[in-house]
Amino acid sequence: MARKCNVTINLGAIKKNYLYAKSLSPNAKAIAIIKANAYGHGAIEVANQLEDCADCFGVACIEEAIEIRDSGIDKTSILLMEGIFELSEISLIEKYNLIVTVCNSQQLQWILDNEFSSPIDVFVKYDSGMGRLGFQGDEFTNAINLLEENKNIDNITLMTHFSSADNLEDATTNTQINDFNNALPSKNYPTSLANSAGIMGWSESHNNFIRPGIMLYGSSPFSDKSHLDKLTPAMTLSSALISIKDFKAGQSIGYGNRYICKQNMIIGVAAIGYADGYPRSAKDGTPVYINGVKSKIAGKVSMDMITIDLSNVPSPKIGDRVELFGENIAVDEVAESCNTISYEIFTKITNRVYKTYVQ
């Protein structure tokens, strides 16, 4: 690997974060969310790491579930959080031993009309204010009743998803909790409300199943990042300096002449760019870490390279490691400088970046 652009995944950190989520809600089961290739961390590797402790895995689609099953993980339950997308997938629920979410009337009818060899477990989704998937009003109760009466159905769990739990000052989450509770039928079914923000900030939402997602990977769902000290970063993105040059005051750096040197400076080039998944939207001043100190980006991110102000970096030289985020710089800090969120940064790391796994 000559081009030293790589990402290191600390699997032990992911397990530690999962157990921390469990500790916040010790009476609940925890569905480890590993959709989108475990938020870019590697679904198979993460699932193998958590297999001995995870109560369930959560994925977005049947292809993600099959990938996990084909890797040899066959004992841990897998929840299809968006259900099935077409009728042809229904036979795969039983084949791969999956729990399916029922989100709309079409999915409901497919489930009701199918003959399973043994009853399956389902989650039924209620739209309490997210405005995406899920039943509303009487349709929710009707769906539950139809599933309850069907011989193909075993355990029924009721779920919803928060739209604003990452804002502790917003009353929306309390409104959603109350709306969900008011929509529940008289029979006492298990329920699932809490995503990462719900787990960390809204204890009243924990109930029977929690769903840790972004917190598994060491990133906080909250904008103030006050909870980061409780989480362990799992992904470290790094590269190396490939050029160091002196520039005079007034010279420009990078595309569009966005950065103009205010004084004589040393500028370094690191081998990473938006083709590797590093955000093109990174502002001048976005932090990087070199030789024990924080430095900053100077100039637009290009496809394969970034330019860095080395003025405060001790004895920089070609080949020096450049950390973009991870152990020394929180991904959330980088995300803020890029007007995005850590979820997007994690999931956009491309195959060109070499991945290594550590415990």
Please state, in angstroms and rounded to a whole number, the distance separating the CA atoms of residues 241 and 257.
Answer: 21
Of 21, 30, 13, whose CA–CA distance to 200 is shortest? 21
Amino acid at 245: K
Count CA atoms closer than 13 A to 50's CA, side-chain side: 36
The H or E element that residue 242 is part of is strand 235-247
In contact, 124 and 144? CB cutoff 8 Å: yes
For the purposes of burial, counting CB atoms within 10 Å of the CB of 277, is it exposed (0-12), middle (13-18) or buried (19 or more)?
buried
Catalytic residue among 95, 245, 255, 317: 255
In contact, 179 and 140? CB cutoff 8 Å: no
Catalytic residue among 15, 22, 29, 35: 35
Q: Is 7 helix (H, G, I), strand (E, B) or coil?
A: strand
Helix axes 11-24, 43-50, angle to 10 degrees: 60
Please state, in angstroms and rounded to a whole number, the distance separating the CA atoms of residues 235 and 250.
Answer: 37
Query: Is 20 noted as a catalytic residue in this protein?
Result: no
Of 51, 90, 93, 55, whose CA–CA distance to 72 is shortest? 51
In contact, 68 and 44? CB cutoff 8 Å: yes
Please state, in angstroms and rounded to a whole number, the distance separating the CA atoms of residues 144 and 184.
Answer: 10
Please state, in angstroms and rounded to a whole number, the distance separating the CA atoms of residues 305 and 300.
Answer: 9
Q: Which residue has the tokens 């477990």?
A: 121
Q: What letter does residue 135 receive in the DSSP assignment? A: B
In contact, 212 and 17? CB cutoff 8 Å: yes
Q: What angle do CA 346, 348, 350 make, to 5 degrees?
A: 110
Please state, in angstroms and rounded to a whole number, the distance separating the CA atoms of residues 94 and 26.
Answer: 30
Query: Is 35 noted as a catalytic residue in this protein?
Result: yes
Q: Is 130 helix (H, G, I), strand (E, B) or coil?
A: coil
Just list the catalytic residues.
35, 255
